[in-house]
Structure 1
Amino acid sequence: MISNEDEDLEVNPVMVTLKLKAPDLYRRAADEQLLVCIPCAASSQGLPLNRTTLETHLLKPSPFFAGLYESMNGKTVEVEEGMLETRSGFLDNRRVRILFEELHYNENFKPFRVVCISQPLQGGVRPLEDRKRGKDAQAQVDTMEQCKTFLYALHLVDISPMTRAKTSIREFFHTYRIFAKGYLGHVTPKLCSLFDQVADELIRSNRDRLEDYSRGGKKWSMFRRSVEVVLMEDTKLARKDQEVGVSRDSEDVVNAHEKLYLRLRDAYKEEDARIERAITLLKSDSVKDFGADPVLEKCDFAGPVKLLRDFQKLPCALDKASTLKDVTNAIHASVLEAIEKGRVPEQTKIGSDDLLPLFIFALVQASPRCIYSNAELLQHFTSFGSMDSEISFHAANLRAAADFLLQSASHVKQPSRYTPSTGVPPEEALTDEGLELPGLPATSKPSKRHSDSTLPRQRGIDQNEHEKSSRKPSDPVTSTDVRKAGPEETTQKLPTRSLTTRQGSLNSFGAIKDEEEEMQLGEFLLALKSEDLPTSSGRGVPF
């Protein structure tokens, strides 16, 4: 039941309702030159022609991501090659064809697009699509299981490139035994180049079956993503680097996804611990305290909290990105449910300004571990051939949430590790005093009044006042006391560990406490300078 392309939109029930029953929405769409989506008449049967439905079909292009649009009520839609695909905020995923397009003009003679689509983006009748729709549904590769299903369905004859690549992946993890902070941007391209080469070799050795998946084609990204995810899952490594010859069935064997995640956890365990302390202080805060619309406090966000609770247990970065997508959809679903039950006004909307505070609120309530490590994983190791706009959107949300929580932790003075019972000398004592993050001075004093900004507020104390009231004459002088201490006071030895940002010096790599870690750091830096590493073909060529 697909509409004829000669349909007259002027008598289409959705267009008529938009112009006569909601002229303010039509005028705004024309003035702001929005994309107006009108479901064909045959598919609009049973569609509730209310204000919510009309707002869902008026789309504004995203200022950040090409091809991504946001409806007037906060839902996201991706437009690509004559198709509209629903993203966050919808109850189900739909791929809708654009049947034809018309150009209309507003009062200032500026054009705006009006498209007739094969079915509504939400609700209404779902007409039968052609065979291509079935093929597209089978080609989804948004999770590790979908990638495996897709790749195995190709029935490749020669998989020797993948077999050889497993050795290269093991050599990669053997070479980079630690991931130094601030240098992940140098490590990631080397690993991505390996997967690019494997995908190219598979296409050459299976030309008759993979002719349509060549680099630069429309299907390359989907094939490249599946190769990376499946190859990482099939490559087995020892959990501990010093272990050699561990059997495949041993419990100390992990796949490459898990190995990568463990490396990042080791590198950012300090940041993860500080975020966990911040979450403990923020647990009792409401959505209003994080900067969201106060009316949303009446919504039940148990759904997204449940999804985030076991987030850190997923080793594959693609599965993590898929979970974050489900969390965003669950947040929108929670608000829609509250609207249907009358707990919040019907005109309530979730825009991008509310989505991040609500996401941080759900993250705090769920309290998953290793939030910062997961943010680094999604930021640096989700290439999958080409990082699509939706994955980058969710990765950016998690990064923003992690940075906010880390900055919140920096406002809270942590107790010194020097106590008479532990015997830790003063020069090894470490506090969070003097830590300066980009754009956030250590001495900043947050306002007690709730800010009108949509960004989440930050919890903190006046460190100067705290120091005046708590410091004793016998306390060791820290790095923040240097500018205030006199000549006699500065004779004491300062802490040996310098606290800098992630872009700072080598001292910001973490606590290097023994010769073994120093040797591993040296090996890491030498590996970055090296031009020759094993590849899937066994020859030493630059990644």
Structure 2
Amino acid sequence: MSEIDELDINPFFKALQNKYLSSYERAQEECNLICIPQSECLQGVVITEKFVDTHILKPSPFFKGQYRTVRSDKQIVTIDDDSDCIHVQEGFPTKTKIKIISEELGYNKEYKPYKMLIIARPLDHNVLRQSTIDTSSSSGEFSLKCSLKDCKEYLKSVPEFSKPLKELDDQIQKFMKSYVILKDYLLEAAHRLNDIATTTSEKCIKSIKDKKLSAQKFRDIVTAAVETCVIGSVHQKLYPVVCSKCADEDRMMLTKCRSLNGLTPDHLGVPGHFSCPVTSAVVELAHLDGLVTPIEKLYCLKTTIDNITEDINKNARASQPLGVPDEDIPCLTSDELLPILVTVLVQAKCNHIHTDLFYMENFYWSAAYRNKDTLSYCLVTFKAAVQYLMTSSFDDIDLKTHGAKNEMSVRELVENRRASFSKNVEYPDTNNGKEDSGNYVPSRSRYDRQMDNITKMLEESTKDMGSAKAKPVRQPIVASIFGGQGTSVSPQPEDMAQPVTQSKKEDMGDFLSSLQNDMFLSFGKQT
């Protein structure tokens, strides 16, 4: 396992990426210096727009090493070249020194570098602290795009949730011990788990005495977090059964993708200005297998489509003559997106794409307070692309035309993208030609660390898949989902899933049948 990145858990940085995204993008564009107080000192701190603007610094036009906050030109700090401290000067309640713990490098859309300093504490001492949950901070900054660990920590941070979570723990252990999941009755298992998540969410919300926290946004956050904990905790038992159900389709899909090595958007009639490499989308989709919960997988689909759109639109803009108005530059539409997505699927070669689509559709139930329509669109678009890929004949396509070449593996794509990225950026001399003083060492680019993590995850996923066929199936280990030791158990037949009626829609296929259920009106099957 890789080390936890401070920026991955830092509430200030999460607020920048979500609630105050416009301020973050502006700071990136202007290559401002961003000061990020370490996570340990932010417990109970209300992160407001004023707090954010106080920690985004722009260089002084008059003095070297002097910076002013974007909130006020009267707030001044200085940073010496050979110092590991920030000197808080004018415009703050007290003049003081704050230690710089580490330095991060980021890059904007133009590949220009900007610095992020992890500092020991906030620049302003007089920040509002609170000991109880606050709707504006907790619900505003908690992101639905989160891991199982994030959700557990969030729920455990609320003292009032301790009793409902203990009951949830007992229910999960009972499910793992006595419930037998059969691949032909997965919807029955979905109903059972949905009931557990819904009941626990209602108990958690009722346990909150502060009526201000009964707002719909807070309820949605709690519901999503509980659901993620439930599905994530039974993933070890549930997901292999889903894989078994969709094994034939996954095998056929992977075989089809391998037979289409070298397929490009040109082959599928995509206009030239929309036909360009979308390596970031391929790399993003390739790590779909390594994610655990349906919400993580859904956001992976969304990020893949976002990366395609960004790269294609940027290429279309660059292909136009200078002076062409923005409104005259062609924009990517769903007609072009579908064939491009097909080529991304071919190159990513996901091992369990049918499994994951079924998993996302049937085991994600919460009405997300944000991005519901977007996530639904992404799911339907991927299902359409998979259906198109599986039902279309590509016999008339010469894969050697249009300059096609031998396709790189996903790992080679990661390395190639890192190399091409590095060539387009200018690494600043953080030591200014001086030897390291020993105070602090600027970190590697966060982008490089993320690429390393993706590569390791892909390698581990491949090893796990290769060994899964040779090893006998182990009985699940039951443990507290919020910590504690577990024991190996065997399922008891008395609590076996009972058959439920599921019509076989063989004539139309799963994709067309699911469209009849109107995905945009009811996200996630619950019947």
Tell me if TM exceeds 0.5. Answer: no
TM-score by length of 2: 0.45
Q: Which has the higher contact order (CA 8 A, sep 6+)?
A: 2
The structure whose Rg is larger is: 1
More helix by share: 2
